[in-house]
Chain A
Amino acid sequence: MAIRDETRMLLETMGRLFEDKSTKKAVDAAETGVFAADLWQAVAETGVPLAALPESAGGADAEWEDLYYVLRVAGRFSAPIPLAETMLAGWVAASAGLDTVDGPMTVGPVRASDVLTVERDGNGWRLNGTASRLPYATNAQRIILIADGPDSEMAVALDGTGGAEVSPGKNIANEARDTLTFNNMRLEADNVRPLGDGVSRAGLYLRGALARAAMMSGAIENTLDLACTYAQQRVQFNRPISKFQAVQQNLAVLATQTAAAVAAANMGIMSLSKDLERQEFLIAMAKTRVGEAATLACEIGHQVHGAIGFTKEYALQLSTRRLWSWREEFGADPEWAAKVGSYFCGIGADELWPTLTAA
């Protein structure tokens, strides 16, 4: 029901770690293109990135719910590492019996429109197609992709970018978003396996959207925290600007949007214990609502800060540039909103309330 004590302890531990290691200096350095290896190492040592895997696959059988709450904390500190991507790469790889590594991994495709196929070639395989804007692909030791096989979706493991044509890119938070193109790339039989039960490309997209929703809820919390702190320090007209009602009203709206973002992400996270159909619409609702909150939070966060918030030196932009990036990734909120609307129109108006309130 409510957050368990052990979850709370995990979140406190991870909060301290990120506060210590994911500093503005560390994030600034990562944004210049140097991977945050120290931060990654510290996070990897906690075992969190692969914790959800079964013990047999090197994990700890941890609850996925808990790991998404960790992603909120990572988002609060703008952690410039592929934590969500590694978790999800592990999820896909383990289901297919592919090996994972302790280093950073990534997973894809992350875009619904990408086409990736594998076909038989003797005892091996050939990979064709594009994985667009793959998070941290150039930083990943291993990349796990889902491709259409002859009969079903297949998991594919690459070491590094493993022979792909790489077109480096980045989001506006300077996180690597690299496009990988595969032209008949040869793969050994061991590196291509059928997906396990419950894992699919659509499921990956859904969980990726939930990961971004969780991270965004953390970045929004940080935006509120910075804005409230700044408003109480900044003096104009002989008063801290937090004493002006116009500013207070803005910050109150930001607080309501923060609360909604946290609750919406929770709604998505809690759906993981429910059937797939409920997961689909609840996570779609979560990404929709968190995306809406992100837009408003960035607007108010900057308005309260004035010019200083618009500088590179001040930390607000670490969160707002991530929010502007993440809200578009794994499906933007208007896209998910349309899915929510289509789903409920499809099942019919009279099913809306029974469906929303079912256990």
Chain B
Amino acid sequence: MLRLPQQENEIINRSIELEFTWNGKPYTGYEGDTIASALAASGVDIFSRSMKYHRPRGIMTANHWDPGLAVQVDDEPNVRSGSRRLEANTTVSAQNVWPSLEHDLGTLNKAVGRFISSGFYYKTFMRPRFFWNHVYQRVLRKFAPGGKIHWETPSTSTYDKRYVHPDVLVAGGGPAGMSAAISAANEGASVLLVEMESDLGGHLRWGNTSEISNMKSLIKEIESNENIEVLTDSTVTGRYDHNWVSVMQRSHSIARERLVKARVGTLVVAPGLIERPYIFKGNDIPGVMLSGAARRLINLWAVKPGQRAVVFTANPEGDSAIGDLQKAGVEIAEIVDARKGQRIVAAEGKKRVESVELSDGRSVDADLVVVAAGWTAPTSLLNMAGDKPEYDQKAARYFPKELPDDVLATGGIVGNGNFNTICAHGSDTGKIAANRALKLRHQRQTSTAWARNPNIPAPERIEDLRNSLVREEHPECYYSTNEGFVDFSEDVKYSDLVQAAQEGFDSIELMKRYTTATMGPAQGKLETVNAAAVLANSIGTPLAEIGTTIWRPPFAPITLGALAGRIFEPTRRSALQDWHEEHGAAPLLAGQWVRPDHYGDASAEALNVRNNVGIIDVTPLGKIELQGKDVSKLLDQVYTNRWGSLSIGKVRYGVMVGEDGVISDDGVTGRLDDDRWLMTTTSSGAGAVWEKLEDWLQNTSNDWDVCITPVTGGLTSINVAGPNSRSLLEKLVSDVDLSSESFPYFSVREGTVAEVENCVIWRIGFTGELSYELHIPSGYALHVWESLLLAGKDLGCAPFGVEAQRILRLEKGHFIVGQDTDGLTKAPTVGLNNLVKLDKDDMVGLPELADSFTDDQLPVLVAVQTDDPMVVPEEAAQILNGSSNEILGRVTSSRMSPTLKRSICLAQVAPGISQPDSKITILLASGERVSATVLSGHAHFDPSGSRQNV
């Protein structure tokens, strides 16, 4: 056991032991341990095998970014054991190993390592040709890194989202961040303080006694400030336009992970610094770790990181590590001070460091190498805010350059200092952040139309006069020799980068793509600057001119589950759907809606409409109420025909096209009153049409007087169709004269149906029969539906479903947008010539529409009947030129007609075969070709309309 006696500021609770297994063997840790600290305390050195060479890897940073600590925990892959708190009874295992972590056969890759330098796969595996897909690729896929998805045990985790609107969001709970939060809160701002680790404090947590006591007093102040909300174990993952900030919250009581979406007044970025690895031969061997890792292990979790250490230090933090190591009883074999020009050259050892070679030629026995080579500024959030950080050679790190007004940075990312100067900078930053946020809040609260106190004075703007933090000098320690790893997760070595540069990949972006350096799980947080330094060295350019790759969101990886949250995509149900299901309706999932497909026998339902009367629930039909003086102008713009002349009480059919002239939607619109209209759209197009109308009004004609209200769900729509439909409605409607003379085809009335007031009734037809469409306030829909059935008992009234309607409309030859038309279909194809008014000043798609009427090559929609009446060609069956494979068209709709007792089709065909009585050849799915004949017009049944115009 390497667990030390109790350390002064350890965060483990020794009274609670947690049992877990690691690669099948039982282990114990304490509450407060991370998985990695518990394993390290039990003497585990090797946590994983590297991606390409399968080299053993151990603890390097002991935090979230540690490249060697990804493990599988139960079903969860790629868990960062350096930061994930240990939980009892979990099954933890190493990833990417075979057959076991200790004896991994992939190490054979090491033997061939010299042959698989960067980009090797681009240069081979080309012969024999079929081998790439069938052999080489399969082998490469076997070596894919990462954890396993357990398909057999579906995840029961829950995920959630939350919206917050803090005035100030502080990313980072170290001394600077905490100070910023306190001062912002004291200015009256609401503050969200987000810390990636499980506790506030930042690097103070593993500091000395006075640092700990400073930390505690800051935390106390935060806890007592009611303007501050703290999220720990949470990461600010992205900063998007208009300070839209995403936070990933773990350890939430209900959700495994929660995505917190914050609209932030001012974002304060205070992430501290990330310690940078150092490049030397053997820099990845277990036992080589950064100074922060050694200090965290000792002080937070009371773990002795080794027995005998060589310490390479370039800064005070490295010096402090020496003290911590001594305190923990680690023998200091050698201190290598970079500030004196001393260097480590190599670490040797197989599964753990055994000796260290120094630049003066000596070899020192040691099982631990502690490296303090410098810092990388985690500027991701600043980059996302548009900043391009610049390199400061003296301080050997990047600093922010220019930030937008609503983003401020403080702490280690902007400079160095002692506790007091850092806190002072944080405090000043918090004050400015609050001031800017409160000004913004004031502006929002006073400038809106509904502002209660539009005249309250705005806060005075505080100028940014912060004393900048000093940039302490730091030696540029990137590499000691030209060996060793630059990117540990991707197994990219110094020599790989040099080779890439030699081959012409001599910009940081090309180098990244060729070598995959910085493309791994840490996305360059440990590697980018080192890679740039190696590139700078190999092409002889100053590091400051190399630049870095671009940091993109997320700052730390987010589970797909949390991004998705609880998925709110309910299936829409009409007010009658329960009734349908109780009465045996087969459900049909149609876009957002579930609908009754049929109630057992679609053909019988269709015949009943032809012979008696049927009722169908057509609620998904898009319905939009339009009010205002300029409605007809809007309709003229989006429909191809004219609307100004439509009189009150009439409805008209309209077709919409896109800018490309292609038909996009259709439906009828009725004029209920002078300024009040009801528009219907296709079911699937309801949302798109609404958007199109709003788009036009908001972006093009925002001075028009039109109010748009979508009422699709608010009105339940019932079509009453069949020769007995008028008789049926006459029983239930008393205040509307339904006679043909006073309520002719294509008219609309408002009236009372089954004592339900404010129903819209229009007389239109999709089935070819006399029919009425009722739009009922949905709360009364079931009453009306049942009243229709009851009143229609002696008239043969029965419900019919979507399938029967499809049969009926096909018999009548009505086309469906999206089925009989497609992404290419223009108005002339479906014979809408009279509905297109090309002499309008303007409308959507006008030029393309005009062109389409001069195009004699457009396909034509025709009714088709197979010569063998019993053969029903499949929808999408191709129409060919005789026995050749030349495509002349396709069947768009087909059914067996119960009315005509034969097969009927609609088809799009080339103009040459579109004339009535043309003989055409249809290729069936079976491969058989059958002959068919083109009809005159679209209707197979009642072409004159004698049944609906009664």
State whether these chains interact. Answer: no
The interface of chain B, by Cβ under 8 A from chain A, is none
